[in-house]
Amino acid sequence: MLNRRKFNLSAATAAVAATALPLAWTAPARAQGAAPKAGKDYVVLKKPVAVDAPAGKVEVVEFFWYNCPHCAAFEPAFERWAKAQPADVTIKRVPVFFRDDFLPQQKLFYALEALGKVPELHVKVFTAIHTERQQLNRDGQITDWVAKQGVDKAKFLEAYNSFSVAAKVKRAAQLQDQYQIEGVPALGIAGLYTTDGSMAGSMDRALQVTDLLIAEARKKG
């Protein structure tokens, strides 16, 4: 897990380089049968966060950063988990902003979302960065890469530089602060809870904790 408090330029460089090495992205796994505990395996937010999900739905937010190797490693498991959720669970992805140079990748995600290209290209962005070793952290690099994926360059740039994408970037910063996100990958549940691999012991167990918190959120209506 990449921690916000310790984040600096050298950490960002090391994070990219770490993709060539085995990932030590989980804490020692805790006993799988142990019941998750508030304050240890997850946090109960003191102030609930407003959600976009309609009444009767439980919103789960995945906080991520494209350059984060831990996020890249987690994404396949999260995608499988998300596809297995019942109809009353809604999934939302939020690219974090820990530093000014995170902005281009935030705009990349929201532009892809605006064009309906997230299902097709979201995982490919991770692959391009962490497997193909491509640099995708500047406007020109991003635009050229997206065009190579068959997306109309003019339409992408229109979305990338749009007011709606700028508004979503601003909302993303608000959400990560409201959910008290200090590292990625991390999960926010129903505007009430957060968990991550550091708390739960691993991201696999964080998904198990999330299942429990979804059930708790349903009880609260």
pLDDT computed for residue 35 by the predictor: 87
Q: Is CATH 3.40.50.970 the right assignment for the domain spanning 55-219? A: no
What are 183-195's pLDDT values in tens digits? 999 999 999 999 9
What is the structure's pLDDT at 189? 98
User: pLDDT tens digits, residue range 113-164?
Assistant: 999 999 999 999 999 999 999 999 999 999 999 999 999 999 999 999 999 9
Confidence (pTM): 0.87
Residue type, 83: K
In the predicted model, residues of the chain with pLDDT beneath 50 are: 8-31
User: Quick check: helix, strand or coil at residue 41?
Assistant: coil
For residue 89, give the 3-state DSSP assignment: strand
Q: What is the DSSP letter of 191?
A: T
CB 57 within 8 A of CB 213: no
The rounded Cα 143 to chain-centroid distance in angstroms is 21
